[in-house]
Structure 1
Amino acid sequence: MDINFLGNLLLVVDTGSMAEAARRVGVTPAAIAQQVQALERELGVPLLVRAGRTVIPTEAGHRVIARARNLVRESAELKAFALEDEAAGELRIGTITTALLSLLPDVLAAFARAFPQANVLIRAGTSMELYETLQRGDLDVAVCLHPAFALPKAYDWHLLREEPIVVLAPARLKDEDPHELLRREPFIRYDRSLGGGKQADQYLRSARIAPREVFELNSLMAIAMMVDRGLGVSLVPDIVSPLTTTLKVARLALPTPTEPRRFGVLWHKTSPRGRLIKGFLQCADGVLGYGDSGGDGKKVGRRRSGG
């Protein structure tokens, strides 16, 4: 029985969708379906049944899944312990899309040079999805926004970047008053279900600005492109990405100070992949110019913010 098939079965159950599970592990939905069918043939029972647009476990599936979680976790821990004194093994990284399209490629390039024998598995998701996946033991580290609640003592946090909330406007409007732009121009809203979108919405409310909303998106890169095309202005975290360097947009500071968006690395303190995690943190700090990283989630050196 392939332990990876079991792991992907758990992902299907947790997401309720073969398509979403396939997206997170970087394969096709057909490949996930074939893996589930292989498990069903081997076990001799159906494991999943379709319910509308989602899939749910059968009665036998529930029994298998309860045991499979322990098997997948123990298999991963066994492999990690066997390699704990080697610069090898597998590091499972979950990341928000913003990080994946900005700093993470450079960090991974540095990590690949420092740990050429290590395998890296990357999954994208929202910060809350990543936190829940980390809790289940299906990830080793999560590159995500700092949770809005107090972290359990079993977890550690390492800040990577602080991003102030700015008004994003076409370059031709760079000398305009940011509040006036938010009131006057068509408004492209950052998804209010996400951390940065919530911060932007709170700012608009506190400043008593009711923008003329035309779009709401969950992609900061797409918002930047739409602003570049003259479709409106936005209120977003000030990201830095090679994908936005050619865009003709202006980043206007807000007249009223606001809390920046903070994202970094979250991991379990007792992870058997501690050496690889520490190496990943050191590579991240090297790319960002933060100096040496300790094992306690703190940094030596100045943090950059904004962009």
Structure 2
Amino acid sequence: METQYLHSFLLVVETGSLAEAARRLHLTSAAVAQQMRTLEREFGTDLLARAGRTVAPTPAGHRLAAAAPQLLRDLAHARTHVNQEAEVGELTIGTINTALHSLLPDILARFVAELPGVTVFLQSGTTQQVYHAVQQGALDAAVCLYPSFALSKAFDWSLLREESLILLAPRHLAALAPLELLRTQPLIRYDRSLGGGQMVERYLRAARITPRERFELSSLVAISMMVDRGLGVAVVPDTALDWHDGQNVVRLALPAQGGAPAAESRRFGMLWLRSSPRLARIRRLVDCAQQVVGERGYAAPRPGASAGYAE
């Protein structure tokens, strides 16, 4: 059986749509539909039923969806048992775009230098998407934000950075107070469907600021470029991105005054399943990540914060 078909099946069940599953997998709807037909032939029963424009699992499909994550983990364990060397094999990593555009290339450069025999596959998505993929066994690990809920004991977590909110502003406005800039300048808003965008919204509400919104988008790189072009100011997490510092953009701390609390921070790191059959490779990747963070001079985690391998 092609295990990728099981991953596709779980995604179809999760989204309720062949088209949406195909979009996330970067395949055509016809290709995903063919995978589902192949699975149905192998299991000898219907697994999905159409309901208008959506699809839903049949009773047999529900049973397969419940059993598939463990089946995928068992198959991964079997592969590792056949080839137990951590230095050879595969690693599938989920990542949010912020990591993909900042720390992850340096982390991967170190990792492949240490383990050249490991083939790495990357899948991008939101923190919620990569978390569920790790939970289902579709990903070995994820570079993402700490979820908005407590992780179960099935997971391990390594904190890499804590990222507070900052204000990006055109250099010629740097002498003005950050809250005054937020009250008077157009706002380039970080997407409110994302955790960082929700942090921004909470800060603005606590500061009792109703901004003049000009744009809303999810790319921090694009937001920085738009501030650089003089299109407005932006409140964003202070990520490891190479901001346009030294050009037309300055980074300003957000004050705990004027009715606003100190800006909250978001936790950025790596998560994986404790029972992963690729645990040795994952830990080598975490070690590489910690080394890169240290070498680039980022602040160490706060006392009491989770770091290294969770207990």
For normalisation by structure 1, the TM-score amounts to 0.84
Q: How many Å separate the matches in 2 of 1:16 and 1:100? A: 28
Matched, 1:269 2:266: no
Q: How many Å separate the matches in 2 of 1:208 and 1:223? A: 23
The aligned amino acid for 2:270 is V
Secondary structure of the 1:138 match is coil
Rate the CA distance shift 1:87–1:70 in 2: closer, same or farther, 3 A: same
Q: How many Å separate the matches in 2 of 1:49 and 1:172? A: 60
The aligned amino acid for 2:280 is R
Moved more, 264-273 or 31-40: 31-40
- Structure 2: gaps of 5 or more residues: 257-261, 297-304
* Superposition deviation, residue 244 in structure 1: 5.2
Q: How many Å separate the matches in 1 of 2:67 and 2:201? A: 43
Give the aligned partner of residue 304 of structure 1. Answer: none
Q: How many Å separate the matches in 2 of 1:245 and 1:83? A: 47
The aligned amino acid for 2:265 is P
Secondary structure of the 1:56 match is strand
Q: Deviations over 1:128-162 (max 9, x none)?
A: 22223222232221212123333323322211122
* Superposition deviation, residue 297 in structure 1: 6.1
Matched, 1:34 2:43: no
Q: Deviations over 1:226-284 (max 9, x none)?
A: 32233221111022334857973221111223232220011222322111011101111
Matched, 1:298 2:303: no
Moved more, 212-221 or 264-273: 212-221
Query: Where in structure 2 are the equivalents of 1:25-174 lying within 5 Å?
Result: 25-174=25-174
Secondary structure of the 2:192 match is coil
* Superposition deviation, residue 167 in structure 1: 1.0
Rate the CA distance shift 1:52–1:181 in 2: closer, same or farther, 3 A: farther
Q: Deviations over 1:168-194 (max 9, x none)?
A: 122332222111110011112222332
Q: Deviations over 1:14-41 (max 9, x none)?
A: 2333444345444444433332233344
Q: How many Å separate the matches in 2 of 1:253 and 1:19? A: 43
Q: How many Å separate the matches in 2 of 1:248 and 1:30? A: 47
The aligned amino acid for 1:108 is L
Matched, 1:17 2:17: yes
Counterpart contact for 1:84–1:275, Cα < 8 Å: no
The aligned amino acid for 1:270 is S
* Superposition deviation, residue 83 in structure 1: 3.0
Rate the CA distance shift 1:224–1:133 in 2: closer, same or farther, 3 A: same
Rate the CA distance shift 1:170–1:276 in 2: closer, same or farther, 3 A: same
Counterpart contact for 1:25–1:122, Cα < 8 Å: no
* Superposition deviation, residue 286 in structure 1: 2.3
Q: Deviations over 1:41-81 (max 9, x none)?
A: 44454433444554322444334434434322221222133
- Structure 1: gaps of 5 or more residues: 300-307
Length, aligned pairs only: 295
Identity across matched positions, percent: 54
Q: How many Å separate the matches in 2 of 1:46 and 1:244? A: 54
Counterpart contact for 2:228–2:244, Cα < 8 Å: no
Give the aligned partner of residue 282 of structure 1. Answer: 287
Counterpart contact for 1:84–1:272, Cα < 8 Å: no
Secondary structure of the 1:164 match is strand
- RMSD, aligned α-carbons: 2.7
Q: How many Å separate the matches in 1 of 2:108 and 2:20? A: 24
Q: How many Å separate the matches in 2 of 1:121 and 1:73? A: 17
Rate the CA distance shift 1:32–1:110 in 2: closer, same or farther, 3 A: farther
Give the aligned partner of residue 213 of structure 2. Answer: 213
Q: How many Å separate the matches in 2 of 1:70 and 1:227? A: 47
